[in-house]
Chain A
């Protein structure tokens, strides 16, 4: 396990180094003069500003030097400065990470909490109307893009029913939940939840649909296994046969997929945050592209890629912890 851990961490680091290289080389990859293009998105630049930028982005340096100086910046916590917002890209991103993570994690939570009972129900009621209904809904969910779901939700719940705000963010739901528990007052929590509900549901819809199908099929696979008959033959009641013996096995492939979905969900925030004006990295990244704010683009890509790699690493390690067959294979 330890040797594996070391190998896995090293390979993650290697991927991150490659990402840094590509990100640092963006200034070379853009056709034409990158600083002139940035000027188009940032009116009011002086010649002096442009010279400083050329130096910062390493426009005139060889690729490798650009890479080492960018890498050096990373170690100093310096990801460059946003040309548009005129402040540190690292700080701008750090401010927005919590909102994005909260949105993605809420979506992930929904993707599990909704899909798990639904998938199990469909498997246990295989071939009945419930199962067919579940299949239709999940096929629909896999096929429809998340921004469309978001727009439909806005039309229904904000425009028509006027139950939920269409855009905005009032602060962390997790923090509010903690305070609500302490003060035994849920009003702030509810106010914040009203904002996250629609973005999280539209972001999670695809994952809910996919997981329902995945859990249904793994559960169907597990239900036929001999070890369930053995458990019954020992006098284990049916409920325990399903919730202990079957579910534990069905959860293994599910956890893997769900963990990897966090990466996909983070990617989805790039679109959903823009639909709902959610102040996270996704929205910042898309804005920085419109602003042609290259330092900010670089920093957003770098942070998003690193988060993705780290999540994959964590999922892989967790998977090994919950599946004893893998846990002991590599000593």
Chain B
């Protein structure tokens, strides 16, 4: 088998804070194949965004990647120079963010903000061609009257349309990997479905693109993704094909998440699926970080941290119940 598109090994990302060092990503290892759609789920604060930003090498100081490696399409990202890394962003690696209104620069036109990708990666492109390609992309993401809207400002679009603009900027150069960090969380329920549909359609039309779809909603991810990785307090606790996870979750945390898949009539984000709170990322408890909230915890869970082990090929879980 050829090398995976992305392989993350033992990645640790920390932020120094007043209370001490906050470990947002705590030894994550994960691989992603070309063209794959992987869902990354977990409660808010479990480190999904920081993991995505780490892959983009966009963790803002004083936060930093302290250990581990990230290989992407045969290159080790952490060994690249700043400028080499910059050239990958937008071209081979792209990221879509959670809140479209905050993601678009309010004082620049959307044509400028999409066109910027072309300008930095294809320096020889002329203004007419740039405009043409941007309009074409706006059309592909379903912006009506794309040509007339090139010079419009972000506030002249609805949230859903803004997210389409962002998707256009992220996908205009057909990147090999798109990290979509909760692309629908800030949107209305009906618009959410449209955006997911758009992502799926764009991916199907694009033979080379893999997507990491981040969400705190297993329901969304279950529909879209081939494989799901469940994250808890900076650790991956379970990784498996989507159907397997939904039909037969192994980790008690995954079980809890599935029990609370939101229905359309319930408010998003208002659920606290599992009793108790996320483990403190500055002073994590000893043993399994989930043990305080786990109905099945036993003595070993309180002292020894479980590692991600392969149960059967393709299924991994980090839990002493499954040793």
Contact = CB atoms under 8 A, between A and B. Distances in A.
Nearest to B62: A127
A240 to B, nearest CB: 8
Given A229-B97, A325-B153, A325-B155, A236 B106 contact: no
A62 interface: no
Chain A: interface secondary structure? helix
Contact of B104 (A230, A233, A237, A248): A230
Contacts of B104: 227, 230
B108 interface: yes
Contact of A233 (B87, B95, B105, B106): B95
A248 B94 CA distance: 24
A331 to B, nearest CB: 12
Contacts of B120: 234-237
A47 interface: no
Given A232-B58, A235-B121, A227 B102 contact: yes
B13 interface: no
B87 A235 contact: yes
A235 B86 contact: yes
A234 B153 contact: no
A38 B299 CA distance: 98
Contact of B107 (A232, A236, A248): A248
B239 to A, nearest CB: 25
Given A227-B102, A227-B105, A233-B89, A324 B153 contact: yes
Interface string A289-331: 0000000000000000000000000000000001111001000
B105 A234 contact: no
Contacts of B116: 231, 234, 236
A226 B117 contact: no
Given A324-B155, A325-B153, A328-B153, A245 B105 contact: yes
Interface string B41-66: 00000000000010010101000000
Contact of B97 (A230, A235, A238, A323): A230
Given A230-B97, A234-B117, A325-B155, A245 B108 contact: yes
Contacts of B88: 235
A235 B58 CA distance: 11
A58 B110 CA distance: 62
B63 to A, nearest CB: 12
A247 to B, nearest CB: 10
A328 to B, nearest CB: 7
A148 to B, nearest CB: 39
B102 A235 contact: no
A128 interface: no
B166 interface: yes
Chain B: interface secondary structure? helix
B90 interface: yes
Nearest to A326: B155
Contact of B105 (A231, A323, A328): A231
B90 A234 contact: yes
A252 interface: yes
A234 B121 CA distance: 9
A233 B102 CA distance: 14
A227 B103 contact: yes
Interface residues of A, number: 22
Nearest to B156: A328
Interface in B181-218: none
Chain B CB within 10 Å, residue with most, of A226, A233, A325 = A233
Contacts of B58: 229, 232-233
A233 B94 contact: yes
Interface string B139-171: 000000000000001011000000000100110
B106 A249 contact: yes
A322 B107 CA distance: 8
A252 B87 contact: no
A225 interface: yes
Interface in B57-108: 58, 60, 82-83, 86-91, 94-95, 97, 99, 102-108
Interface of B: 53, 56, 58, 60, 82-83, 86-91, 94-95, 97, 99, 102-108, 116-117, 120-121, 153, 155-156, 166, 169-170
Interface pairs A-B: 6 shortest CB-CB: A235-B90, A234-B90, A226-B102, A227-B105, A324-B153, A235-B89
Interface of A: 225-227, 229-238, 245, 248-249, 252, 322-325, 328
19 contacts: A226-B99, A226-B102, A226-B103, A227-B105, A229-B60, A230-B103, A232-B56, A232-B86, A234-B89, A234-B90, A234-B169, A235-B90, A235-B91, A235-B121, A238-B82, A245-B108, A249-B107, A325-B106, A328-B156
